[in-house]
A and B are shown apart, each in its own frame.
Chain A
Amino acid sequence: MAHVSIIFFWIAFLLYGGAFALFIYYLLTRRPAMNSLGLALVAAGLACHTAAVLLRGLDAGRVPAVGAYESLSLAAWSIVVVYLVLELFTRIKAIGLYVMPVVLVLLTLALVGYKAPAGLMPALRSDIVVLHVIVMFSAIGCLYVAGGAAIIYLIEEALLRRRRAGGVLGRLPSLGALEKLVYHATLLGLPFLTMGMLAGVIRAEAFVVPHWWVDPMVLLSLGAWAVYVVLLWGRIRADWVGSRIAWLAVTGLVVLFVIRFAAVPYLSGFHTYGG
């Protein structure tokens, strides 16, 4: 079973890679067929990825979110899901350009950290931990996509302003569409983040984790949460548009990266799933 899971994982990895190559090719040549083909590859990759995650979960007999391999693979999976859903609903092209490299990097890191499924330490065997993990990964999927759209927004805006638009004209989504995408993805992601954090707090309180509130990961998450709240507030109440929203989304993304790649492996006291 473990073999089958890793084979599916590899197939998904290759399909995502192929899709990324096609997205780049589309950007360079603008041939409409390339983008559709790329999307088809992503969809096929997601199917294999889903199989890999499910098999891994069956193999381990729990939610496959423990250890670097599982957690990174699951994060990549949720990003692809959010990306595909947004792409289908908004028909905004070129998000794949940002999303695919992130997914590929996460999967590579996952492979590097591959370990056979381990048993769960007793402290983590709890329904609320499962909820916490699932909700957090949903939030990460949404917020990574928002960050990706924001990066494309900033690049495109700079190109437009420098009159270098000839190259990207019509290939990248419009500024308006990207800004909406950032907004919608954040609107979707923030409630998940809030729920996930609440679940974490409840769990920490219930099991009397000492000084959980000074854990770097908890503090950083709170910081990210604040950034996204400001973003939504600015967009809804103060009519901020454009680059300010985009910069906030990028800031949030940076914090999320710090959490995942600095806080989890090196700083956090009790979020020991990472590695």
Chain B
Amino acid sequence: MLVVVTGISHKTASLELRERLALDEAGALRVAQELLSSGTATESVALSTCNRTELYLYGRDSLAARQAAVERLARHAGCSVGELEPSLYSYSGDAAIAHLFRVTSSLDSMVVGEAQIVAQMKGAYQAACEGGCTSVVFNRLFRHALEVGKRVRTETAIGERPVSVSSAAVELALQVFGSFKDHTVLIVGAGETSELTATHLKAHGIERILVANRTLDTSMELARRVDGRAVRFEDLEEHLAAADIVISSTSAPHYVITREVVERSLKRRRHRPIFFIDIAVPRDLDPEINRVRNAYLYDIDDLQHVVEHNRHEREKEAQHAERIVEQELAAINDWLRSLEVVPTIATLRETVEQIRQAELERLGHKLSDLTDEQRAQVEMLTASIVNKILHTPTVKMKEVAGRQDCYLYVDAVRTLFDLSGNGEVPRAGGNGAAPEEPTEVPEAPPAVSETPAEPAPGGATVHQLRGTGTDDA
């Protein structure tokens, strides 16, 4: 049994294709359910965000599962499989789980460290869970993935620093004010970045937005969009006294606000601090403003500097996050391995044999009176009882081993007999198959290596589909 993921993301597909493949919540659930009913997989989750659409499947035949998923996606996009293929990435086994963890940790995101993906992944999993598309493996796997995302977030600083000019501006303003309760922002000149910054500020709780532009119509238009109030450009100085944050982006060739104006405004507002953000080129705000007590001035270069620095720091943290993903992968693999039939049978036998030996040992002094022959008979008797008891479960488990849902039985056996190990104890030969077991169980899915006909665009490498090497034999 293998975890398989296939899909497209911003790294492999154009925006146009991503739009065509995007699934709404109901659509995602429908796709997941259809894939289950097709019989190629036993568990499925469909994730769709603006940057990626991917399907996670758990099935015996990873190639067939992938094929079914690709066909379903192609049908949704209204194109042929061949058209879709170059933009797809597919992973199976370890690689698929690593991918899931990396996605949830936002290591695979367009902006590394962005926070939304955890909620999106959680939503996708919950929808699938409620729609009956997940079971033992995916319930555990996706919960674990969400935990990994959380761990990466608390143990690394991956999401701690703003990496866009507007969010850096907001962060700086927060560094001065702490919160934006009862604060006012004044937008001078209407520009895209200033609007974006105003929107960010609004999201952080700022209440009053004033817009001043040379043409009143433009101010009114912008004020309407950001839910603010348009003011006359001529009254700029007056409004400056009320503003805690000033964002300037006019196309004026000279300074719009000078040091003297700021000094007067500060006096009028009893020296409560003002944070100036100058996004305009050429600059709108006199650099001398930064020398005024309780006035702070950042221009576009300063902000870009901050952003650059933060990007760099995030990359460093991402390396740390990759290590966490590796650790967690090892942890979940131990568990997944335990869901295989042959090692479970071996562990079960080993455990019962240990009980038998322990009981014999406990009776040791009472048996010492027996002759060697009698002792051998006791030995045989107990061994025979153990074998008889274990015979039926062993046969039955080998029977179900061929079924898609065999791991549910394995899970039950492990729970009932409290077999917590991962089946490594009795393993001989290193491939998980105890040599004395007859090989009547179906063959392992081939350790497939499927390379797409052509490499995907965008520099994304489509990893080979490969087994974990420990699929139940």
Contact = CB atoms under 8 A, between A and B. Distances in A.
B272 interface: yes
B310 interface: yes
Contact of A166 (B155, B156, B294, B305): B305
Interface in B280-328: 290, 293-294, 296, 298, 302, 305-306, 309-310
B175 A243 contact: no
Contact of A174 (B153, B162, B177, B271): B177
A163 interface: yes
B206 to A, nearest CB: 14
A242 B309 contact: no
A175 B296 CA distance: 12
Interface residues of B, number: 30
A165 B172 contact: yes
Contacts of A180: 178
12 contacts: A31-B155, A31-B156, A33-B154, A160-B296, A167-B309, A170-B175, A174-B179, A175-B273, A176-B177, A241-B294, A242-B271, A243-B293
A163 B298 CA distance: 8
A169 B296 contact: no
Given A175-B177, A240-B271, 17 more contacts: A29-B157, A31-B155, A32-B154, A33-B154, A161-B290, A165-B172, A165-B175, A166-B306, A169-B175, A170-B174, A172-B175, A173-B178, A174-B179, A239-B271, A242-B271, A243-B293, A243-B294
Interface residues of A, number: 27
B178 A174 contact: yes
A239 B266 CA distance: 12
A248 to B, nearest CB: 15
B176 interface: yes
Given A169-B161, A174-B178, A175-B176, A241 B306 contact: no
Interface string A27-45: 0011111000000000000
A165 B306 contact: yes
Given A166-B305, A166-B306, A166-B310, A33 B155 contact: yes
A169 B163 CA distance: 12
B241 to A, nearest CB: 14
A169 B178 contact: no
Contacts of A163: 298, 302, 305
Given A160-B296, A242-B294, A174 B176 contact: yes
Interface string A211-234: 000000000000000000000000
Contacts of A86: none
B108 interface: no
Given A166-B305, A166-B306, A169-B306, A241 B157 contact: no
Interface string B145-179: 00000000111110011100000000110111111
Given A166-B310, A242-B271, A176 B160 contact: no
Contact of B293 (A165, A175, A242): A242
